[in-house]
Amino acid sequence: MKLAIFGANGPTGRQATEQAIAEGHTVTAVTRRPESFPLSDPRLRVVGADVLDSGAVERTVAGQDAVISTLGVPYGRSPVTVYSGGMAHITRAMTEHGVRRLVCVSSTVLFETPAPGEGLFFRKVLEPFIVRFVGRTVYDDMRRMEEVVSESEHEWTVIRPAGLFDAHAVSDYRVSASRLPGRFTSRADLGNALLRQAVDGHHVRAFIDVRTTEGVPSFLDVIRKEAFSGKK
């Protein structure tokens, strides 16, 4: 398949790109900083483009079989438009060029239902604090992005992972259309889930959860390392 991956220079984007190349797919990796992209392969084309540049997005999407978005921005107080604005450009370009398959990342908190077995403190205090205060502008724009995606006529899937952490290899992770137990998703597993959805075409027009079930870190370790890093 010919795959365009937006946000390819982030940790999840690099996972999806590397795994796609290993499977023999042709990848167009889209990043604002192509000079720092660490991967190279005959099946890889690295494109320097901003997802908020509609012309650049349209040129990138032309000729692709599917589009994967791993866009991410750090928490902050400033309004965020990258998710929704970028997705508006992506879906418009897909329509223009007849590309049907779209897979993107948001967050498990957008299910707005408790995770099975989640403790009262996390459910009633910690998660609401992160969603409503620490990450409010990010999650607000993720919701707008999901509206753009769900209102489109494409064959879309939105993946809502839990807290992200780095792992060396893909595990036997879980996928479900409802919220799963557990707090974490490795980027290796998320990259693989994105690739599987794009290539295999499962869960069309659905929001799905992805959970890592083995080798997960402690909650405090992830908070210390990830919460304000801006990695996606």
pLDDT tens per residue across span 115-156: 777 766 666 666 766 777 788 999 999 999 999 999 999 999
Q: What is the pLDDT of residue 124?
A: 67
Q: How confident is the model at residue 10 (pLDDT cuts 50, 70, 90)?
A: very high
Q: What is the value of pTM for the model shown?
A: 0.91
Tell me the CA distances in angstroms from 76 to 79, 204, 232, one per residue in order. 8, 32, 15
Helix (H) / strand (E) containing 19: helix 11-22
pLDDT digits (tens, 9 = 90+) for 50-73: 999 999 999 999 999 999 999 999
Residues 25 and 3: beta-carbon distance below 8 Å:
yes
Residue 36 clears pLDDT 70, i.e. is over it: yes
Q: Fill in the DSSP letter of residue 78.
A: S
Residue 223 clears pLDDT 80, i.e. is over it: no
Token pair of 185, please?
């998703």
Residues 95 and 220: their CA atoms lie apart, in Å, by 43
More confident residue, 133 or 18: 18
Average pLDDT of 185-213? 97
Domain ranges in the chain?
2-226
What angle is formed at CA 126 by the lines to CA 168 and CA 231, rounded to 5 degrees? 35
Q: What is the pLDDT of residue 155?
A: 98
CB neighbour list of residue 197: distance below 8 Å, 6 or more residues apart: 103, 157, 159, 203, 208
Q: Which ranges of 64-216 does DSSP label H, i.e. alpha helix? A: 82-97, 120-121, 127-129, 136-150, 187-200
| % the chain with pLDDT above 70 | 90
CATH number for the region 2-226 comes to 3.40.50.720
